[in-house]
Amino acid sequence: MTQTGDMTSSRVGGFMSAPPIAVGAQSTVLEVAQVMKTRNVSCVLVTSDDQLLGIVTASDLVNRVLAMGLGTDTRVAAIMTADPQTVDINALGHDSLLMMARERLGHLPVMQGDSLVGIVTRSDLLAGQVGSAGLMVVEIGRARTVDAVAAVVRRLPRLLTHLVNNNTRPEIVTRLMTDVADASTSRFLAFTEQELGAPPVRYLWLACGSQGRQEQTGVSDQDNCLILSDEFKPEHDAYFKAMAERVSAALDQCGYFFCPGDMMASNPRWRQPLHVWQSYFDEWIRQPVVEAQMLASVMFDLRPIHGASELFEGLHQRTLQAARRNSIFIAHMVSGVTRSAPPLGLLGGLSTIRSGKHKRHIDFKHSGVVPVVDLARLYALQGQLLPVNTRARLTAARDTALISASGAHDLLDAYDLFCQIRLEHQVRQISDGLPPDNFVDPGELSDLEREHLRRAFGVIKTMQSAALQGRGVLT
């Protein structure tokens, strides 16, 4: 029995069909076809003693039986997909739909612990996703051209407006916006492989910056790189250069503009074999000059998007260990974190930009969001914490006692406030036909909002001071 609702908070159990329709492994394909017709379903599960063995779909009957000239007495075990991908009953509907899009699956058996309890189809989930990010991801996965993907991405302002106006939590809004960017990137990489042929060696495309942290808003540039297998040879670079340039150009066409600092895989510096990447991180940690701090701040937010994820796992772990062991590097990172002073005046009032295009405005990205991001990254490095998302890092820092529970609570509240005001501002701009940005006039906020802002910026100032003094951060 399917339902509609908010897929960002609804569980798979609310969309699945239960109990699942199952047959034994010795059933014939004729019997399976008859069950599908009688029960009006597009798949059946194959079980033995209540244990899931496989799945058979209507397309399997066409492609694996009829097309192969097999008889109707063929046992279903011979044509089923064995050990199929499953999903937990408490998984989010949105995440499950993303997985189905990524793996190109139409059906997922639903488990509760070790027990098979139901089945959910892509159609079931799409019924709850009309006009949502999940549907956009599915459409992107089906797109056959860059133009088709771009047409889907152009609906992002409408999605952002819908989410914010329906009081969706900021961390969910930014996650959903990022999901669309991830799907677009993966699709363009698939296009490129189709055009250029199979890659000569294993590769991994990664995002950094806001996409890496899953924190994109209504305005985002590209921050990406390529890690190549150490089997890479110089003659292979022509392939990956073409890949990077095509994908970056396609993303730009969709509105993800080129990185002003050229931190993209199209730059050969950020398209290197694994051992070179390791040398980069080793050097940044060993000699943390200003440029090294800046680069490390970006590259410590890496998240795999497409390709051989194993190329990153060892690198990530080793780098976190090296960073934690180097007290000088940590000290330099602390210095960098405390360099961005909150926009507070001498008497504790809000301080705005004094001149230029954005006079009397506050840059909510660089004055509000970024300082919290920097603090969270510092805690992750100090504690060898694996999460990349800012909220997840702060939560992990609290759970590992790197910061106090009260400090984490205050930082999370401050971060959520900055993000909420920033997103609401962008939605107002979209409604007025303006391109979204991060510059907010505090005069447009209520007295209560300005008071909350002053307190939030005060939290940042306090936590920066604590980091500088080594309290609650350095051990």
Lowest mean pLDDT among 100-114, 190-204, 262-276, 286-300: 286-300
**pTM, two decimal places:** 0.76
182 and 263, same structural domain? yes
Lowest mean pLDDT among 11-20, 63-72, 255-264: 11-20
Alpha-helix residue ranges (DSSP H) falling in 104-235:
122-126, 133-142, 146-153, 156-165, 170-196, 209-212
CA distances from 82 to 79, 86, 289 (A): 9, 12, 54
pLDDT interval class at 162 (50, 70, 90):
confident
Domain membership of residue 388 (yes or no) is: yes
pLDDT interval class at 472 (50, 70, 90):
very low
65: containing domain = 12-126
293 and 379, same structural domain? no
Domain membership of residue 364 (yes or no) is: yes
Query: Structurally, how many domains does the chain consist of?
Result: 3
Region of 214 on the Ramachandran plot (φ > 0 left; ψ -120 to 50 alpha; else beta): left
What is the pLDDT, as a whole number, of residue 468?
84
Domain membership of residue 6 (yes or no) is: no
Domain membership of residue 319 (yes or no) is: no
Domain membership of residue 5 (yes or no) is: no
- Give mean pLDDT, residues 50-60: 92
Round the average pLDDT of the chain to a whole number and report it. 90
Please measure the distance between the N-terminal and C-terminal CA atoms of the chain and give it in whole angstroms: 53
Write out pLDDT tens, residues 277-290.
999 999 998 887 77
290 and 224, same structural domain? yes
Write out pLDDT tens, residues 165-211.
878 899 989 999 999 999 999 999 999 999 999 999 999 999 999 99
207 and 92, same structural domain? no
pLDDT interval class at 31 (50, 70, 90):
very high
pLDDT at 12 over 90: no
Domain membership of residue 151 (yes or no) is: yes
86 and 118, same structural domain? yes
- Give mean pLDDT, residues 323-341: 85
Domain membership of residue 326 (yes or no) is: no
Q: Name the domain boundary from 284, 314, 344.
A: 314
CATH code of residue 393: 1.20.120
163 and 112, same structural domain? no
158 and 290, same structural domain? yes
140 and 83, same structural domain? no
305 and 184, same structural domain? yes
pLDDT at 2 over 60: no
- Give residue 243's Cα distance to chain centre: 21
Four-CA torsion 127, 130, 133, 138, nearest 10 degrees: 60
pLDDT at 133 over 60: yes
Across 226-230, 318-322, 470-474, the highest mean pLDDT is recorded for 226-230
pLDDT interval class at 127 (50, 70, 90):
low
Which residues are CB-neighbours of 70 under 8 A, at least 6 positions away? 29, 64, 78, 79
84 upstream amide cis, omega within 30 of 0 = no
